[in-house]
Amino acid sequence: MDTQAPITLWFRRDFRLNDHPALAEAARSGRPVIAVFVLDEVAETYGAAPKWRLAAALDAFADRLERLGSRLIFRRGRALAQETGARDIWWSRAYEPDAIARDTGVKAGLIEAGLGAKSFLGQVLFEPWTVTTKQSSHFKVYSPMWRAVKNTDVSAPEPTPDQLCPPETWPQSDRLADWGLGAAMNRGAAVLAEHACIGEDRAGAARGFSGWPRGAVQGMPGFPGRRRYVAAVGKPRLGRDRAAHGLACGAQGVR
């Protein structure tokens, strides 16, 4: 392994600096780090609102990286390892079937090209394949799954890097605005912008970094017998609602 060659960090839906295992290890390596977002076939299938949220999240994350003295490179198609001189491409695991198929193909191609390919813990507390039924299959009912994992140790969150080593030369980048990801939202974008919690700073403020309130819903009058009925439970707090947007875009970790 070339200890001076850049590491390409391939971001998908994990747009944060805090509690990001791949980013934290790259920062500790002392090697140059090139953060890349690739608009691939999975992202191209998103509907109007998800594409708008994606564009807003990317814009916020690019700003966060710039404040750290780094950049976010935007590209269409496949990753640009050959162009950057990177010998290693790292990413956070995704667990949807389409994403798994994409990542499997990308990893095979990188290894065939003689490059290092490494994936890290994604937006989960534990890997899905580490908790199975007695028949070694996935759980299909929540309660048995909860009994199996409730005493599982969860590793501590990764710290936010103080800095990222820049490469000698930055690769060319597309302009995010030229992708037109939010164009299909039309006037709906203004409505969504008022309520969506986009970016690590806003997601953290919404959550308050204090975790999800224990018993906040269960303590409501009549909850035990009415928990199956969403309307009866009532509307979630705005802060909790907005924090969910942060989780969806990976602007905050789950730990």
Q: What's the rounded mean pLDDT across residues 4-8? A: 91
- Give CA angle at 81 (74, 128), nearest 5°: 80
pLDDT digits 0-9 by tens, 121-168: 988 888 888 888 888 888 889 899 889 888 888 888 899 999 999 999
Concatenating the DSSP letter of every residue in 82-121 gives HHHT-SEEEEE---SHHHHHHHHHHHHHHHHTT-EEEEE-
How would residue 226 be classed by pLDDT, with cut points 50, 70 and 90?
A: very low
Structure token pair of residue 92:
């956070």
Output the pLDDT for position 195: 65
Structure token pair of residue 175:
């302009």
d(CA 13, CA 182): 17
Q: Which of 9, 21, 16 is closest to 65 using CA atoms? A: 16
- Give CA angle at 34 (53, 105), nearest 5°: 75
Output the pLDDT for position 97: 87
Output the pLDDT for position 205: 53
The predicted model scores a pTM of: 0.77
Is the domain defined by 7-123+179-197 classed in CATH 3.40.50.620? yes
Average pLDDT, the chain: 79
Range in 124-128, 163-167, 190-194, 201-205 the model is least confident about:
201-205
Q: Which of 247, 209, 11, 21 is closest to 127 using CA atoms? A: 21
Q: What's the rounded mean pLDDT across residues 100-110? A: 90
**pLDDT over threshold 90, residue 217:** no
Structure token pair of residue 111:
């290894």
Output the pLDDT for position 176: 95
What share of the chain in percent tops pLDDT 90?
Answer: 36
How would residue 190 be classed by pLDDT, with cut points 50, 70 and 90?
A: confident
Q: Which of 50, 128, 45, 138 is closest to 94 using CA atoms? A: 128
pLDDT digits 0-9 by tens, 60-96: 999 999 999 999 999 987 656 667 788 899 999 988 8
Q: Where along the chain do its domains lie?
A: 7-123+179-197
Contact 137, 42 (CB under 8 A): no
Concatenating the DSSP letter of every residue in 207-247 gives HTTS-SPTTTTTTSTTHHHHTT-HHHH-PPPHHHHHHHHHH
Helices (H) and strands (E) in the chain, counts: 11, 5
Output the pLDDT for position 218: 44
d(CA 74, CA 12): 11
Identity of the residue numbered 171: P
Q: What's the rounded mean pLDDT across residues 7-18? A: 92
Structure token pair of residue 241:
């609602």
**pLDDT over threshold 60, residue 252:** yes
Contact 9, 88 (CB under 8 A): no
Identity of the residue numbered 213: P
